[in-house]
Amino acid sequence: MDAARTVNQLEQLDEELETILTSFDSSYAWNYGSVKEGLRDLYEKAKRDQWNGTTQLAWSTDVDPERGILPDITNPLNGYAPYERLNQKERDRLRHGQVALQLSQFLHGEQGALIVASQLVGAVPWIDAKYYAGTQTMDEARHVEVFGRYLREKLEWQWPVNENLKELLDDTIRDSRWDFKYLGMQIIIEGLAMAAFGNLFQITTEPLLKELVRYVMKDESRHVAFGVLSLHDYYKDMPAGELRDREDFIIYACELMRNRLVGDQIADAMGWDREEVKHVVLESVIGKAFRSTLFARVVPNLKRLGLLSPRVRKAFEELDIIQFENADPEAQDRALGLA
């Protein structure tokens, strides 16, 4: 009986574990001095701002997963006929699922960030960057911990990773070039996450989730800054062919991330038509505003790095996100009380 139980546990572990092949150069940095301006200060800030999710969050808070987390007005399915035909109990259950879906994608993204941060420790060429990547690895482990605990204990519902998010995480983790890891994770995924976290922080009325997100955002703000500081001037004299590879990746990643927020997983769970739900979500006022503001940090940071080339600019015009090129991420942080 014990042997059979062990076999079953191993089989379950295999189902929950996915392995992908990665290959990248790891670098020793024998110069232990500070060679990249700003990184040592960021590292000192990271050390000061460490926090313990076990003791500093009020896990005893009573949470009703079907009410009081997000206001109904923010539901992009309002007005959609199949949704309107649901009774109140069914709507509450669906809202529970929508919140769990959003937080599940945060959880999965944080695990991807944990893996990438651990890769950066070996891959980056400066000791200051290795120091900081070490602190970010700890940050990301903590984020996986707290989102996982909230989903497990408070919502009791976890969704699989969105296929578009998974594709970008895989590509970022697999790429052998360290600057692609920065672009994929620090600039694009973390930049999008900061905007999504900021939106959730402002609209949620659930105190435990609000405080959890506030702590996470303070870390994430540094993570984005880590990418911007590390890549500063890196693309300045890059050959055109190599620069085009970065442009292609940026366009692909931003299109992928914009297309993931279309309600596919909810449609499948409810037995609704995917294309119909996609149209409703894309055309809803809430959906348009949320998708658009997600890029309010990504676009200006790419401009700072000299990557808002004519090709990228044209793609961003088609995605309707070019209007954020002169936005100020630091001002956004201050408005949220993070700076």
Q: What is the DSSP letter of 159?
A: P
pTM: 0.91
- Quote the Cα angle for 247-305-172, to 5°: 50
Lookup: tokens for 245: 């590879």
Question: Which residues touch 142 (CB under 8 Å, ≥6 apart)?
Answer: 51, 52, 53, 219
The pLDDT of residue 10 is 45
pLDDT the model gives residue 6:
46
Show Cβ contacts of residue 188 under 8 Å, excluding neighbours closer than 6 positions: 168, 250, 253, 254, 257, 298
Give me the residue label for tokens 């009325």.
205
CB neighbours of residue 211 within 10 Å = 15
Q: Domain locations in the chain? A: 35-335
- Give me the numbers of helices (H) and strands (E) for the chain, helices first please: 17, 0
At 72, which amino acid appears?
D
The CATH T-level fold of domain 35-335 is: Ribonucleotide Reductase, subunit A (1.10.620)
Angle at 108 between CA 86 and CA 296, to 5 degrees: 85
3-class DSSP state for residue 199?
Answer: helix
Contact 238, 311 (CB under 8 A): no
Judge contact between 177 and 165, C-beta under 8 A.
no
- DSSP structure class, residue 284: S
> Would you say how long the chain is, in residues?
339
How deeply is 178 buried, as exposed, middle or buried, from its count of CB atoms within 10 A (0-12, 13-18, 19+)? buried
Q: Kindly list the averaged pLDDT for each block of 10 residues, start to end, along the chain of length 339.
A: 50 71 90 88 95 98 92 90 94 94 96 97 95 97 98 96 94 95 95 92 95 96 94 94 96 87 86 92 84 87 96 94 90 79
Give the Cα separation of 160 and 158 in Å (integer).
7
